[in-house]
Structure 1
Amino acid sequence: MRTSNRWRFIVPAVAIATIVSGCGAGSTTKEQSNPVEQAKTGIDYNEAVELSIYASSSSFTEELFKTRIEEHVRKKFPNYKLKYVKPGSMTVPDMIATNNVPDIFLFALPEMQKNLFPNGLQYDLTELINKYNVDLNRFEPGLLQTFREVSGEGKLYGLPESTNPHVMFYNKDLYDKFGVPYPKNGMTWDEAYEMSRKLTSFQEGVSYKGVALFFRTVLSNNEDSLPLIDAKTERASVNTAQWKKQFDNLKRFYELNGMLTGYKPGSDGGTELTSFYTDKNMAAIVSPFSGYTRDGMKDMNWNMVSVPVHSENKGVGLQVEPRGIFIANTSKVKEQAFHVLMHVLSDEVELANSKAGKTTSLNNETIVKSFASEIDLLKGKNTSAVFYNKVAPSPQAPALSTNAGNLLSKEFDAVIQGNKDVNTALRNAEDTINKAIEEEIAKTRK
């Protein structure tokens, strides 16, 4: 199944007042506090409420919390007090044991499965979405489908807040050196492979590499929406013809003579990204977009394009693992927390955060075109690469939390080193993932 609308970056969506009354995204606080509007929405913007917010990722610093959430919420709801719960300060079970469960969580979907479901903290937003007539068509369909699939019941326990899509970074200096045209958005894997052949060579004592891959995430987020684990049977689902196609497509890039020179066995592709900006002998790499923030990228003459796709899937890129914003079912202020969610995901706030480099989940051309306009490192870069392709919808996620992606990546690593053929690697991956599943099941029964 494919999404019908182009994916957009995740930035804050329209305020509830905008959603309900149809007001423009640029409404002022004074207008939003209008008694007539309050009567329509039932929202008291002057109510004094305290809410706590927890983000599991250490990258979501207190500074980001203030600039991306708190400052915007304060303007909309002047008497709302938001408390930042430092990432890693307490485990979710400890939060429950001490009655300190936050009202709002910011979790990547695997973290949601690991922390909300087992502890019974998930809360279905459907009732509040219906009550306030929230237009879900504002969001990229593929992302919403991913959230519904993860629930296993088609419910919305959260909404997409941000994501880390993939792009293909390239070293402009090496393309200039070899006289090869720069890559473009919309390339196929076959075109990327032919380009890699022209760029992989040995000259003046230096082994130059063409296109490399951050292959763990590329495999796990494959464009064909192939699951690692079948959600219904809770068994591995990688020893298939479709997964063989994935392995065959990617391994050929490493079969070019010289591509494994200096390669570090045991890599999941992450060291390839490091090599891209440290050794500077790699022409391009398919990588999570967040790679641009690494210090070494500042010293490179680089740009980016969209991830290559299969010709039969033209325009459909990789899956993404969005970070979601969730309300705990233990919260005593669910409606107020929902007001915060919808304001943080408003056109007004999303536009501001998009300019500051936050991706958006909204189908809003103005927000998309504004992306990263205030980020110096991305000035002059082809930021359209991030949202050029549609998002491949994620398959239904299993209830189990395993390291299936890492186990599959390990087998692919063995293939490109020539230690295993593809069929053997996929059989081994199937066995090791099933073993991990059994171990996980055994833990839950203790």
Structure 2
Amino acid sequence: MSSVNTTIQLITREQAEAAQSHIPGQPGRAQESCDEDLAQGPWEFDLAEALAGTPGYGPGASNEDTAPASTPVQGQLPQEYKDASDAELEGRIRAAKAVLGERVVVLGHFYQRDEVVAFADFVGDSFQLANAAKNRSEAEAIVFCGVHFMAETADMLSGSHQSVILPNLAAGCSMADMADLPSVEACWAELEALYGTEPDAEGRVPVIPVTYMNSSAALKAFCGERGGIVCTSSNASTVLDWAFERGQRVLFFPDQHLGRNTAKAMGIPLEAMPLWNPRLPLGGNSQQVMEAAKVVLWQGFCSVHKRFTVAQIEKARADFPGLRVIVHPECPMEVVDAADEAGSTDYILKAIQGAPDGTTFAIGTEINMVNRLAAQYPQHTIFCLDPVICPCSTMYRIHPGYLAWVLEGLVAGEVRNQITVPETTAVNARIALERMLAAKPRSAARA
């Protein structure tokens, strides 16, 4: 099966049908891309953003999201890496890794393009990669093929003798940018004014802050300093249990959907989960609504997972009676409710690994992972719920050219694109992260 990148190139050249670039299990149904600019090298967008003086997320699922002015930008990749063929880049990357040996470890997220994952020493979700960064103490450099907040986490959990490198600084996260420290601090001040700060008779404080891994180091530090915790999609329910043992209610940011889906599965009613709009007083809610709140949900979302719909599930069921629908809990609630199961990327992987041969899966998560699963498990029929190829904009900004550039820099004794979190921030963020790592994911999600 062609990689997502190869398929996008073929679609752009109007060769998709000839190359049989159809959804696995749906012969003859040609795919289309959500953005023809995906066929260009990511360096084209580095240049365009530099010339415009405004950062962006690039083509793909987050293309219409507004990037704040503080969003990191990437300098120009040297021309030799832009001009190199796929085979040449592969040779240069493998040669650099051979020279560096155990001095470097390359971490790759499930959502990375195949052409990058091919060189990863460890592939996983954000929880697994956080552990991997913490446990690779022998490496002098950790090259993190993910996005900015993941590299920040790796820097905070790795040793002081290690350098964490993000191959393309423009690989950020639009969801993470939907909650910034000043807005969260303003929200917290309103909540303290409303609920007070004194614990109840059971010793539970009025509010516990919980931030999703997809957030800045500053917000992780905010949680660590205020008795809060970080969660991932793997351990969100465990984390909410932890939080309710210590607090009367939870402020959950930045992803409303993960918070809502997790809390609902725990039996918390929707009316006790108000949505907080940071641009409005009390988040746009009445005092009565806020007084009844158990989980205050920040108004953020993942642009990849909001693409999935109930209509897509209904069509998949009509086309494939008896299929198994699994979606990521970052999907909207109605999509999670319509699916058979919801779980993290690792949950999805394990569900496919453990299924009887011949199972048909419709998966609601990022296309690179779904495409890779379909190739790795040909005994099943596996396809993405969204028939349009639309990868994570920011993950897609990491390309083998950038990986070759940073690895060859290490060979030459130069650390390029190092991610460093100030110790004043890291000290409190580590507290929240260590609490997260101790909150082991449950063995299964909703089934």
After TM superposition, the score normalised by the length of structure 2 is 0.31
Higher relative CO (Cα under 8 Å, sequence separation at least 6) belongs to: 1
TM-score with structure 1 setting the length = 0.31
